[in-house]
Amino acid sequence: MHNIIDPEKRAHRWGFKGTGFTIENGDLIFKSDRPEFSFFANKPLPDFLPYICGVLDIKLFDGPINEEVKEKVIPPAIINNAFCTELPKILSEERYTQENIERLIHSHAQTTSEEIYKVLYNGVLPRMVDMVIFPESQEEIESLIKLGSAHNVCLVPYGGGTSVSSALLIPEKEKRMVVSIDMRLMDKIEWIDRDNNLACIQTGITGRHLEEKLHAEGFTLGHEPDSLEFSTLGGWISTNASGMKRNKYGNIEDIVQSFTIVTPTGNISEKSLHDRVSMGMSVNKVIFGSEGNLGIITKAIVRLHAKPLKKEYQSVLFPDFTEGMAFLKELSQSFIKPASIRLVDNNQFKFGLVLKPHDKGFIEKLMGSLQKSFILKVKKFHPDKMCLATIVMEGNTDEVYYQKKIIGKIAKKHNTLLGGSGNGKRGYALTNVIAYIRDFLMDYHCIGETLETTISWDKVEPLGKALEECINVTHQELKLPGKPYLSYRVTQMYHGSVCVYIMFGVYTHGIDQPEDVFKTLEERMRERVLELGGSISHHHGVGKLRKKFVNKVMSEEQINLAKSVKNQLDPDNIFGIGNTY
């Protein structure tokens, strides 16, 4: 038996086993032995819980905590006898299972609050997969799809389970046997072309393992989403993903040169391996963002970059968000493109500071006492307005030196203060801790979520104000206790727009069916984003969570064209996950 249950990964919550938040002697502690969390791990974080209670206007320990349901409700599996009879001709018995734990794990993702809440605290999902299969080769996948088509079995591709769009939820009305195709065993680098900086890689590989293997060969892919540890190459293609280092390496559509997808009507792969051609419609581009609706992406040819010789971090403190945006705008119009730059608003700035493991005021955590006096009295920064940008620069020594020089020159023009490399590195690493915080606080009746959007430069600050008004009004209408939390950051820059990543949360103790109430709030927020001209998503896809909004951002003709591709490649809806349209 292969490692069917991932030995490192938590089953229904985000992250690694042995890593997460706990309370000891009244203090919050982030337990972990992983080196990437050394900034936060295994030390008291005395300011965090008082901060959360303050911003939500609650007493966190009032009433019992949410207890996870130990015995989950697992309905009997639907069995297609003909399919099950022929399956052993394709796979050995140790590579498919109907174990209840695996069926449940493969019926949801780890990062959408609504479905996680239903799994943890209600112990039930409306519909689950009936079998999980672990193929090892392209030939096995081709045979499995033919078998599913022959016996009308619904097939669902499964990568890392990191969807934040309810994309893995099985449609409740699905009456056929549903089989999850887990791609984790297809995790090999098939070849590396050093002359042309290309590699052919199987799509079940996680970002973490892919970078480890490429680094050993002297390369990097450069795609670094927040979910890097668990998300897969196939998942990145199917959601049209973006990563934190997009400025230097591009989005997934820039990184992947071609790929192979197996559909019920045949295989699609691009024969040309050139960077750009003019040969009619680009059929492969249609597959980006297909979200499991068309088939299984088995391998991809990707563009490689030399492993950076040097990496440096920096942070820049601004008096307010407006000045921070002016800095980003000027930087975006220069020829300098650091690998990553993220600007957080004041709320998210404070959120990061209270995660420092020592008991000081939040300004002292950024600087010492002399610097504090300089910030407040000389620079006249206000603690409730200032914000921070974290920057990652990587490449060769000269490239990084030049970036630092130009960034410092631009920063001086915007009444800034350089916060140092330590704060830049901490700010960058904090991203990987946020999901653990969400899961911890859910036990204490706090439900949080993120949404992201692409929006024009001039609409970023109006968006922040509109969302603040929206969440406050909706919070009152829903009669939720305490106060809502809202913060946001700018994470990717483009010529005429940026990606804004929004965090929000509420306290739900005493509220019936809080996950459904929270969904109402999330949809109101999404509607407000679209009203201001924001996109339905920048890099997380549509899934089922945002499906109702597609007709607000796409014309009827566009939707019909997408559906016609589905009908052509999968006329019997064998890949019936039902995402997007």
What range defines the domain where residue 174 resides? 81-183
Among 391, 412, 434, residue at a domain's last position: 434
Q: Is residue 9 part of a domain?
A: no
Q: DSSP for 34-103?
A: -GGGTTTBTSEETTHHHHHHHHHTS-TTSSPPPPPPSS---PPPP--HHHHHHGGGTS-GGGEE--HHHH
Is residue 249 annotated as part of the catalytic site, yes or no? no
Same domain, 327 and 424: yes
Q: In this structure, what CATH number is given to the domain that contains residue 377?
A: 3.30.70.3450
Q: In this structure, what CATH number is given to the domain that contains residue 265?
A: 3.30.465.10
Rounded to two decimals, what is the model's pTM? 0.94
Same domain, 161 and 269: no
- pLDDT tens figures, 426-483: 888 888 888 899 999 999 999 999 999 999 999 999 999 999 999 999 999 999 999 9
Same domain, 264 and 326: no
Q: How would you write 178-219 as a 3-class SS string?
A: EEEEECCCCCCEEEEECCCCEEEEECCCEHHHHHHHHHHCCE
Name 389's bridge partners: 316, 343
Same domain, 111 and 198: no
Give the per-residue pLDDT at 196: 96
Which of these, 460, 458, 476, lies nearest to 521 by C-alpha position? 476
Pick the more confident residue, 273 or 190: 190
Which is catalytic among the residues 485, 488, 501, 507? 501
Whole-angstrom distance, CA of residue 471 vs CA of residue 524: 8
Average confidence (pLDDT) over 374-392:
84
Q: Is residue 287 part of a domain?
A: yes
Same domain, 396 and 504: no
Q: Is residue 56 part of a domain?
A: no
Confidence of residue 213 (pLDDT cuts 50, 70, 90): very high
Q: What is the mean pLDDT of the chain?
A: 92
- For residue 522, pLDDT over 90 is answered with yes
CA 487 to chain centre: 17
Cα separations (Å) of 154 from 73, 144, 178, 266, 507? 22, 11, 5, 17, 38
Average confidence (pLDDT) over 39-45:
85
Among 372, 403, 434, residue at a domain's last position: 434
Query: Which strands sit side by side in the sheet containing 340-344, from one edge to the other?
Result: 417-418, 310-318, 387-395, 340-344, 485-493, 497-507, 446-456
Same domain, 111 and 200: no
Same domain, 154 and 259: no
Confidence of residue 181 (pLDDT cuts 50, 70, 90): very high
Give the per-residue pLDDT at 276: 83
For the chain, the domain total comes to 4
- For residue 555, pLDDT over 70 is answered with yes
CA 561 to chain centre: 28
Give the per-residue pLDDT at 1: 42
Among 306, 327, 352, residue at a domain's last position: 306
Q: Is residue 103 part of a domain?
A: yes
Whole-angstrom distance, CA of residue 137 vs CA of residue 181: 12
**Contacts for 199-202 with beta carbons within 8 Å, 24 or more apart?**
199/301, 199/302, 199/304, 200/299, 200/300, 200/301, 200/302, 201/233, 201/299, 201/300, 201/301, 201/302, 202/233, 202/298, 202/299
Same domain, 419 and 467: no
Same domain, 464 and 397: no
Same domain, 285 and 320: no
